[in-house]
């Protein structure tokens, strides 16, 4: 049985701070893609909350599709082995693709996705991540849009899980260390 008591967790980013940041990102993206259409590619499962909120802050025509990738399983450490569990439904050829992620940690997931998706000849390919943990990077990768840079802490909530739990929490919390 896992503790589902928020009081045992330290809050890192509040609901309000997330809301303001998502609005800011949506405005910036809408400005940068002005006169164009964008296809947002959410990386399941972690990005589903952020993708839903971000899309509603865009003022440009947009589509959404999802990819499911997994590398962490039930661990707090990346296995380094990325698997596509579900591919896109649609072609991205000649489309402006914006990958939407909840967090960039080692960068291995996105590095793999950039390689894979770029072979499909998109008109452009960019990354928007809510959270960035630059200290943990194992490959040279800089997201185009970053919500918050955070220190090397295992965080949950707002789509981010530990062993599939806590994705539903509306703010971002630090997983207590004894649980790792």
Residues known to be catalytic = 105
Site residue total, Mg ion (CB under 5 A): 2
Residues in the chain: 180
Q: Peptide bond preceding 7: is omega within 30 degrees of 0, i.e. cis?
A: no
Could you tell me the sign of the dihedral formed by the alpha carbons of 118, 84, 144, 152, in that order?
A: negative
- Least separation in angstroms between residue 31's CB and ligand PRP is 26
Q: Which residues pair with 169 in a beta bridge?
A: none
Site for ligand PRP in 11-70 (CB under 6 A): 43-46, 70
SS3 (DSSP) at 130 = strand
By CB under 6 A, residue 132 contacts ligand PRP = no
Piece of 19-27, 103-111, 134-142, 159-167 that binds Mg ion (CB under 5 A): 159-167
Q: Least distance from C-beta 68 to ligand PRP, angstroms?
A: 7
Is 107 a binder of Mn ion (CB under 5 A)? no
Q: Is 166 exposed, middle or buried (0-12, 13-18, 19+ CB in 10 A)?
A: buried
- In the window 10-69, what residues touch Mn ion (CB under 5 A)? 46
The contact set with ligand PRP (CB under 6 A) reads 43-46, 70-72, 78, 101-109, 161
């Amino acid at each position: 049985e896992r503790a589902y008591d928020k009081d045992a967790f330290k809050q890192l980013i509040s609901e309000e701070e997330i809301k303001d940041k998502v609005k800011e990102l949506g405005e910036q993206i809408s400005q940068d893609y002005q006169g164009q259409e964008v296809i947002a590619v959410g990386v399941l499962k972690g990005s589903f909350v952020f993708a839903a909120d971000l899309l509603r802050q865009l003022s440009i025509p947009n589509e959404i599709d999802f990819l499911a990738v997994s590398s962490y399983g039930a661990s707090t450490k990346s296995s380094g082995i990325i698997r596509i569990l579900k591919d896109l439904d649609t072609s991205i050829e000649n489309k402006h693709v914006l990958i939407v992620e909840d967090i960039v940690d080692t960068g291995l997931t996105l590095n793999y996705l950039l390689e894979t998706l770029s072979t499909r000849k998109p008109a452009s390919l960019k990354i928007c991540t809510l959270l960035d943990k630059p200290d943990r990077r194992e490959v040279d990768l800089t997201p185009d849009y970053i919500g918050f840079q955070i220190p090397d802490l295992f965080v949950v909530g707002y789509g981010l899980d530990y062993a599939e739990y806590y994705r539903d929490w509306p703010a971002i919390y630090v997983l207590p260390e004894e649980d790792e």
